[in-house]
Structure formats: C-alpha cells, structure tokens
Amino acid sequence: MIRERITDKEATCLLILFLLGSSILVGIGVRAKNDAWLAGILGVVFFIPFALIYARIQSIFHGRDIFEITILLYGKVFGRILIIIFSWYSFHLGALVLRNFCEFVHVESFPETPLIVITLCFITINIAAARSGIEVIARIATFCLPVVIILFLLMEILSISTMDFNNIKPILGNGFSKVADVGFSSFSFPFAESVILLGVFYTLKKRESAVKVYMKGVLAAGIVLITLTLVNIFVLGNMIEDYYFPSYASFSFIKVGDFIQRMEGTIAISYVLTSFIKSSICLFVACKGIAAVFNLNHYKFIVIQTGLIMAYFSLILYDNIEEMVDWFQNIYQFYAIPFQIIFPLFIWVCAEIRNRSEKRDQSGKGKKGV
Amino acid sequence: MLVFVILGYALLSIYEFFPLYKENKQKEFYVNLVLGIISFTMAILISLRINIPSPAEAIKIVINYILKAFAM
Amino acid sequence: MVIIVEKNTKKHIFKKAKSFEGKTKDEKNTNNSGKLTKSLNRNITIFQSSFSNDDTVIFRKFQNQYSDKIKCCIIIIEGMTDIEHINRRVIEPLQNQVFQRPKSSVNLVDEVQNKVLPVNDVRQSTRLNEMIKAVCYGDTVLLLDGCDVALIISSRGWESRPISEPESGKVVRGPREGFTESIIKNVSLIRRKIKNPNLKFKLMELGKQTHTAICITYIEGIALDSILTELEQRLNRIDIDGILDSGYVQELIQDEPLSPFPTVGSSERPDVVVAKMLEGRVAIIVDGSPFVLTVPHILVESIQINEDYYNHFLFGSFNRFLRAASAIATISIPAVYLAIVTYHQEMIPTQLLISISASLEGVPLPTSLSLIIMMLIFDILREAGTRMPTAIGQAVNIVGTLVLGQAAVDAHLVSSPVIIVTAISGITTFMHPTMIESVVILRLVLIIAASFLGIYGYLIGVILILLHLLSIRSFGVPYMMGLTRLEEHDGQDSWIRAPWWSMTLRPKIIGARNQIRQTSRHNR
C-alpha cells in the first residue's frame, strides 16, 4: 500500500474546514448574547496551549497515527481502552455533526422529508469520502475552502446594509463570568474538537509542520468564526440566542435592490461542504480506531457499516431540535473534557517522559562508547 | 419499510461480505459481521418505530450528577 | 478525392512485427510439412491447399526468355500488393535479363536476390508459415523451380485515404493535417515533427485473427520508464480476436473501466500528439484507426485545446476559462434550475418567480420529468445528427427546433425556462468534445439527485463526482493533477495557459524524468 501524504497547505485547509464544520451552523458562544464574539476570542486563547500540545504529540511521533502512539505508550491492553475512548468520541462527534446538519436541512428546507432519508443521503458521501482515504479528503478540502471563504465574504459584504453597529453595546453587559463560562464552551466546541485530527496528521510530510498547521489553522478558523459571530450580532443583536441557526437567519435579511434577496440558500452550500469534511474526518478516524482495536489490516472494510451505525446513532440521539440545542449548549462542554483535555494530556506527559529518557539513554550510550 | 431494509442489507452483504469471505480475511470478516448485525438491528428497530434509548440522556444525567457533586 | 497508392517505403518497420509469426494454432494446421520441396509444381500445390477457397490469391507462373530452365512462380494477393511494382521490378527482370542457372539450387536463389531483383527489401525463407503470413500481409513470395528456398519480396501497397484535415477538433490557427488509417503514414507524420533519434517506435501485434499492427511511440529521455513498462504490460495482457479501431485498445488498457471519465486520451492531430509526447506522454498508434491514443490522460487535458498554445496567451487563457466554466455549467445548470424551482423558490426574485410560475401553468409534467425528457430529446437529436447524411441532417434540425422550441411551449408540453435551460446546457456540451460521453451521464445523475433533495442533492452529487475524480489515476498519475495542489509551476498550464517564455518546466510526475523544457526564463 502506498503511504498517504498530505501537504501542509492541504492539512491547514482540512483543519480550518473541520473547525468551521457545524460551528458556522449553530454559531459559537451564542449563550453570551452580544458578547459571543468575546467568548469566541477567549475560546481561541484558551485553545492555543492545547493546540501546541496536540502538535507536540504529533511531532514527537512523526509519521505515526494516534493509535500507534497510544499502543506504543500504554501497551496493548490499556492502550486499546484509550483507543476505544478516542474512537468513541470521534464516532459520537461525527454523529453529532451529521445530526446537526441534517436537522438544519430538515427544519429549513425539507420539513416533509423524513430525517432518516436526509441522513442516509448525507452519510453516503461520508462513506465514499472515508473509503477513498485521507488524501482525497484533503484534496477536496483545498477545493472547498476557497468556495466557503468567498461565499462568506460575499454574504458578509452584502449584509452590511442590514447591520446595526449599536447591537454590540453594552460590551460585557452580562458580566465577565458569563463570558468566561461561554468562552469555555466555545473552547470545547469547536476548537478543541480538533483533537480528532491527531488521527489524520500522521500523513504530514515534515516533523515541524504539525505546529505550523495547527497554529495557522486555528487562527484562520478563529478569525472566520469571530467575524461571522460579529456579523450575526450586528444583524440580530441580542436575539442571536433565539435562533437555532443564527448565521442562516442573519443572512436571510439580505436585500440589495430588487434582485439580490433571500440569499441564505447560497450559504447552505458552505454548510454542506464544511459539515461534509468534518463528519468524513470523524468517520475516517473512528474507522481507523476500530481497525486499530481489532488489529485489522485495513480500515476500508468496515467503513460502510460504521457509517451506517453512525447515521442511525445520529437519528436516535435526540427526539427533536430543542433537545439537541439544549444538549449542545449545556452538556457538551463537560462531556468533552475527558476526550479533549485529559486524553491528550495523558498521551503528552507520557510521550515527553519517554522522549526524555530515550534521549538520555542515547546520550548515555554515546558516552559509554567514548 | 421493513422490506426495503432487508432488501438493502441483502444487497449490501453481497457487495461487502462475500468478497471478504472469499478472500479469507477472517478477522475483517468477523468484525464487519458484528458491525453489520448492530447496524441491521438498529435499522430494523428504526423502521419499526421502536424507541431506542438515547445515550445523550444518560450522559446528561451523569454530567448533571457530577456537576452537582462538584458544586457542593 | 485523390487516391494515392502507398509506396512500399519504410517497410523495414514491419520486420519486427513479422517476427511474431507462428504463434497461433490455426496457422500450424495449414502447414503440412512446414518445408518446401524442390519441385515448383508441388510447392504451388502446397500453397494452393493452404489458400484453398480463396480466389483472390494469384499464382503467376513464368520463365526466363533466354533459359527455359529458370521457371518461377509468384504468389500475391490482389489488392494488397503494388502490382505495378511487382511487374516492373520482379517479373520483368526475371523474364528479360540474361543470366545462367548456377549449378546448385541455393545459388540460384542467391543469384536472383543479389543480381536480378532491383528491390530493396528481399529475404530468403524456408518456413512455410512465414511465407503464408507474408502473402497475407501483401508481400510477394517468389518460388523458383528446383529450390526449396523461396524469396519474400516486400510489395505492400494498397489504396488509402490521403492526409486531410480531420473532422474533429477543427482549428482556425494551427496545422491542418490529420492522421489517416495507415499506420505508416501516421508514424511518418510524427517523425516529421520530431527529427530526433530519441524518438522511439516499438511495434507489436494484437488481435489473434486480425494481426493488427500497433506502435508505441515515445521520446526517450522524457517519457517515464514506469509508464512505459506499465503500458507494455497492459498491452501484452490483451487477448482479443480482433482490433478494428484504437477504441478497442483504449478500453482494454483503461485504469478505471467503470468510470465515465476517459483515462486514455485520443487525438486525430499529429501536433496534439507530439505536444503530449513532449510533455512525457506515450502515444499508441493502431493500424486502421486515425485516432492515436496517448497515456496517461488526466482531466486537465479535456480543457486544453491545441489552439490555446498557438494563439495569444491571454486569449488562450480566456478560452480555457470559458471551457472550464462551461464544463461546470453544462452538468450543473439543469440540476440547479430544477432544485431552485422545485424546492428553493424563495431564492428567486419575486418578479421572476411570477413569470416562471406563469409559464408552469398548464404544463402536465413535473419540472424534473420534463427536464429529463427534454435532455433526452436533445441527446437523441445530437446522436441522430452525427450519423445523418448532410441532406437529411437539415430535416432533423428543423424537426428538432420545433420539438425544442416555441411549438412545444405553445402546446403547453413544457415550460419555456426548461427549454432555455436545455439549450444552454446542450450548447455548452460541445465546448469539450472529448467529454461528451461523461457529461451526458453526469448531467442526468445530477438532475435525479436534485429532484430528490434539491440543492443538497445536487451538492451531494457534485461531492461524489469530485471524490471519484480525486481517487482515480491514469497510469499512476492522479487524474486531477494540475487542478489541485497548485504549487510552483503547477498551475501554469491548467486553469490558465501561461505564456510560452514562462513555461520552463514540464508538468510534474508525467515529465518528472526531464523536468526542464527551457533552460532560460528570459529567452523572449
């Protein structure tokens, strides 16, 4: 089998789209109302040390995926338990993204079509993408990113006429503690979700590129998300919390002349692309994880079944959209702690210790040799 | 509905399982079989409109419990 | 039309092909003893039994006018041989020249070969198989009385089409000559453009019944060995009874036989083929087909047209942009129209929405169905138009404009926007003739996807197509090369056509062996 390789540029595109996936849909830090943008900035700031940790793990073990690393550090039994935890998270996240997006399509465009039909249609492309491998997903990401960015810029420029810049005041009207609280939830969604990409970045070409990719990707995605949040606040004001899909709502106010109006259908394109990339990566990593647990030769054989289970799982998660939004805003950030913070810390500490001792061993041997 | 599910899975198994079985990839075959059975049961349950308990509820209860414990 | 007789020059390139003889079983059955006898009449009988029930084979017996002892017979097939050449260069000297019969029989053959026949390609043979095969190829076998060795005289010559401008891929600016059905002419057309000993021609023979000659052409030092060996392997795997066009070979050596996208290129123009060879590709010439294949073939080549390179680079780039845009438009427009009209009507400005819904008034079919039917009718008209004689073609055109036109709208069979959409989509199809096959299929797939899930269905379809495009390869080269991973020098000849003085490198991977096209950046 040819080893898959992705370039730094592709990896950055992948990371940006991954971070934008479903977060542009439901918005970040909406609970902080018109301070949501501050919460977003806080989220980025909180996340930067963790991004460095993730990148560090990848660059210590260059060319190995997170599953190999875990087994290497924790042995076959405990390592496998960690892998199960990690792939569960990836699987669950994939299902969440899928549900999010399909719920959006169901609510906004196809209320009469059953949710299962939309989900099955959408999981088809995820399965196809995960089966074709990470190189193909990465190359599709390079196609998608310009489309997504251009669409957003266009929409944001067009919606200038509907903006009310006073909406941003009062800054910190609800107190700093609220912003800090929401800042934590925007840390866990979407930024720290990029822990999943540890299962992907083993394909990077150079040892140093992990840090660069993480920093560039997180900053770029942060800028896009915060601008978007600001636009939403300027357009919607404090009502931002009342919408399930704030950016969709704010772009629906666009009206330039008689011809350009109701442009929100166009922005749905970027929702599709980002959600597609994100859930495909999740499915890919989950399948790789399952393959690693059972020590399979190749993950490709199980993609279809895992994808189908993911689709069904996303269907049974919630009964309706209110439940989903409530879970996302109140439970998710705590649920994600073990996967986003504890798991990487576990790996990182152990990896550093091992790395140091190995270096000492090598230098010791060197001295003996002299 | 149920007929569609069974038909779909029959086609899928011809596409997926038989090649694996023929190539004698036992481990892959069994893992895939287990996953296939899980997804098949889920599909049937969904098609019969039987409510499957959602793990989201359980997670919510556990997390609320832990949060309360910390807040104490 | 001027019909010219192909002269029997350059016959030497067939020698390699000749050495393939004796492989098939049916030839061995015709061979009784495998050897000739010393008696001329008996030899003739052997040949006659081999060619029984074939009246086109001519056995012409004659003797020298000065010596009765020198009796000969030539065996030729009518229509395959250059009769004039045989008359003047073989029969005439043998009849009229004075020469003595040497004592030993072998010497007679030597004598005739060395002193009598003024022909450049003559060889001796003792094997019956070889001789029968030579006759089938259009060569002449000369039997001499008292000798068990025969002479095979190259005399192939048949009437073939002269070099003319090909019907496909017409150009305003650029060379107008095109390949013909004759492999020799095609080889010479390529050789005339690359006057270089590094230009290599490898001959093979394919088809158990037809023995079609196939020539692999490449420039040594530019073409990659890996592509070459892979191609040879694939060609050697072919086990088919007959090859009538290069399309057979194309389908048999394709990477993705189920893909609607072509992974082997074909062109009727020598300048196109040579340009591709200069980029490191390998060409395959098939006898009897004016379409020369090139591998590897990637997607970018469908929007690269030879005229881009001959015109001003800005104009070329603009045309290329138009081609790329229309490629996307032709498969997207019907699906997007359908999605918006059926599911996302809020996106249409109110005025336009009113006029569209007015036109939908009284139309019995749903938009999706009428769109599919109109696309099918368009494809039927296109297919009918290509096969029709020109006189009947006009009738088809008139009927077609009625069906796809105002009459259909007036009869309330379809709505007028559907006709406009079909027309735009249909016209843009012809911007890239090599892609018609795939475009027709993809368009229908996208229409069906959009009729289920609106714009989301369309996007799902597009993503599936992109995934497919990104995962297939042609002879180890990624199919989307040049369109993704735009790094240095990579985008010069894909979305745009950079000016010649700046295209210093060959495309990556394909031209990896000899990357440098021009040494200096500043040679303008």
DSSP-derived letter for residue C161 is P
Indicate whether C434 and C464 sit together in one domain.
yes
Cα-based angle C173, C178, C181 (whole degrees, multiple of 5): 170
Residue with tokens 């194309």: C250
Query: Which of A117, A306, A331 has the most B C-beta neighbours within 10 Å, making it the best mutation to test the interface with B?
Result: A331
Rounded CA-CA distance A328/A100 in Å is 10
Interface confidence (ipTM) of the complex: 0.92
Given C474, C498, C516, the domain boundary residue is: C474
Indicate whether C377 and C444 sit together in one domain.
yes
DSSP A7-64: -HHHHHHHHHHHHHTTHHHH-SSGGGGGGHHHHHHHHHHHHHHHHHHHHHHHHHTTT-
pLDDT grade, residue C18 (50/70/90)?
Answer: very low
Name the token pair of A347: 């790996």
Q: Do C349 and A140 touch (CB under 8 A)?
A: no
Nearest partner of A187 among A27, A41, A12, A304, judged by Cα: A41
Q: At what angle do helices C436-471 and C416-429 cross, to 10 degrees?
A: 70
The 3-state DSSP class for residue C101 equals coil
Give A299 to chain B, closest Cα distance, Å.
9
Nearest partner of C14 among C114, C118, C152, C115, judged by Cα: C152
- Ordered by start, the domain boundaries in chain B are 2-71
Residue A46 within any structural domain of the chain = yes
| Number of domains into which chain A is organized | 1
Indicate whether C326 and C291 sit together in one domain.
no
Report residue C245 CA to chain centroid gap: 7
With an 8 Å Cβ cutoff, is A64 touching chain C?
Answer: no
Q: Do C471 and A259 touch (CB under 8 A)?
A: no
The 3-state DSSP class for residue C216 equals strand
Indicate whether C292 and C316 sit together in one domain.
no
Stronger pLDDT, C234 or C382, i.e. the higher one: C234
Residue C433: C-alpha distances to residues C146, C269, C303 (Å):
62, 14, 10
A343 is in which domain, residue-wise?
Answer: 8-360
Chains contacting chain C through 3 or more C-beta pairs under 8 A? A
B residues 23-62 lying closer than 8 A (beta carbon) to A:
25, 27-28, 31-32, 35-36, 38-39, 42-43, 46, 52-56, 59-60
With an 8 Å Cβ cutoff, is A110 touching chain C?
Answer: yes
Indicate whether C352 and C281 sit together in one domain.
no
C185 is in which domain, residue-wise?
Answer: 165-297
Task: Please provide the size of chain C in residues.
Answer: 524
Cβ-nearest to C467 among A110, A129, A273: A129
With an 8 Å Cβ cutoff, is A327 touching chain B?
Answer: yes
Cα-based angle C90, C92, C95 (whole degrees, multiple of 5): 105
The 3-state DSSP class for residue A263 equals coil
Rounded CA-CA distance C310/A157 in Å is 41
Check residue C102 and give its pLDDT: 67
Average pLDDT, stretch A20-41? 86
Rounded CA-CA distance C257/C238 in Å is 14
β partners of residue C206: C212
Name the token pair of B66: 């832990």
pLDDT grade, residue C488 (50/70/90)?
Answer: low
Residue C516 within any structural domain of the chain = no
Check if the beta carbon of residue A162 is closer than 8 Å to that of residue A255. Answer: yes
Tens-digit pLDDT profile for residues C375-434: 898 888 888 877 877 777 777 778 777 777 778 888 888 888 898 999 899 888 888 777
Tens-digit pLDDT profile for residues A37-96: 899 999 999 999 999 999 999 998 888 889 999 999 998 899 999 999 999 999 999 999
Q: Do A312 and B46 touch (CB under 8 A)?
A: yes
Cβ-nearest to A318 among B27, B36, B56: B56
With an 8 Å Cβ cutoff, is A116 touching chain B?
Answer: yes
Check if the beta carbon of residue C246 is closer than 8 Å to that of residue C275. Answer: no
Q: Do A302 and B35 touch (CB under 8 A)?
A: yes
Residue C474: C-alpha distances to residues A202, C278, C432, C455, C469 (Å):
26, 18, 20, 31, 11
For residue C57, report the phi and psi dihedrals to the nearest 5 degrees: -80, 130
Q: Do C467 and A125 touch (CB under 8 A)?
A: yes
User: Does the pLDDT at position C358 exceed 60?
Assistant: yes
Check residue C25 and give its pLDDT: 41
**Does C touch B (3+ CB pairs < 8 Å)?**
no
Question: How big is the A-B interface in CB pairs under 8 Å?
Answer: 68
Cβ-nearest to A125 among C346, C464, C484: C464
With an 8 Å Cβ cutoff, is A74 touching chain B?
Answer: no
The set of residues, in sequence order, having a beta carbon less than 8 Å from that of C268 and lying 6+ positions away, is C166, C167, C168, C169, C178, C179, C290, C291, C292
Average pLDDT, stretch C243-270? 91
The 3-state DSSP class for residue C473 equals strand
Check if the beta carbon of residue C460 is closer than 8 Å to that of residue C449. Answer: yes
**CA dihedral over C511, C517, C522, C524, signed as positive or negative:** negative
The set of residues, in sequence order, having a beta carbon less than 8 Å from that of C299 and lying 6+ positions away, is C261, C469, C479, C480, C483
Q: Do A305 and B35 touch (CB under 8 A)?
A: yes
Q: Do A105 and C344 touch (CB under 8 A)?
A: no
Rounded CA-CA distance A231/A226 in Å is 9
Mean pLDDT score across all residues of chain A: 88
Tens-digit pLDDT profile for residues C306-342: 888 999 999 999 999 999 899 999 999 999 999 999 8
Rounded CA-CA distance C309/C322 in Å is 15
Task: Identify each DSSP E strand in chain A by its residue range.
Answer: 255-256, 260-261
With an 8 Å Cβ cutoff, is A88 touching chain B?
Answer: no
With an 8 Å Cβ cutoff, is A117 touching chain B?
Answer: no
Contact list in B for residue A323 (CB cut-off 8 A) is 56
Q: At what angle do helices A134-158 and A115-132 cross, to 10 degrees?
A: 130
pLDDT grade, residue C29 (50/70/90)?
Answer: very low
Check residue C105 and give its pLDDT: 58
Indicate whether C240 and C320 sit together in one domain.
no
Report residue C86 CA to chain centroid gap: 32
User: Does the pLDDT at position C11 exceed 70?
Assistant: no
Residue with tokens 């009897």: C288
Check residue C8 and give its pLDDT: 45
Rounded CA-CA distance A297/A1 in Å is 11
Count each helix (H run) and each strand (E run) in chain B, helices first.
3, 0
Indicate whether C21 and C137 sit together in one domain.
yes
Pure H helices in C343-435: 350-360, 367-387, 390-403, 406-410, 416-429
Check if the beta carbon of residue A17 is closer than 8 Å to that of residue A278. Answer: yes
Residue A187 within any structural domain of the chain = yes
Residue A86 within any structural domain of the chain = yes
Check if the beta carbon of residue C7 is closer than 8 Å to that of residue C162. Answer: no
Residue A165 within any structural domain of the chain = yes
| Number of domains into which chain C is organized | 3
Rounded CA-CA distance C312/C498 in Å is 10
A residues 264-293 lying closer than 8 A (beta carbon) to C:
265-266, 268-269, 272-273, 276
Indicate whether C315 and C263 sit together in one domain.
no
With an 8 Å Cβ cutoff, is C346 touching chain A?
Answer: yes
Rounded CA-CA distance A63/A82 in Å is 20
Residue C500: C-alpha distances to residues A129, C313, C492, C518 (Å):
38, 8, 10, 10
Strand pairing category for C212-219 and C265-267 = unpaired
Rounded CA-CA distance A370/A366 in Å is 6
β partners of residue A260: A256
pLDDT grade, residue C17 (50/70/90)?
Answer: very low
Q: Which CATH number do you get for residue A186? A: 1.10.4160.10
Range with the lowest mean pLDDT among A16-20, C69-73, C289-293, C315-319? C69-73
Q: Do C347 and A110 touch (CB under 8 A)?
A: no
Tens-digit pLDDT profile for residues C458-482: 999 999 999 999 989 899 888 888 7
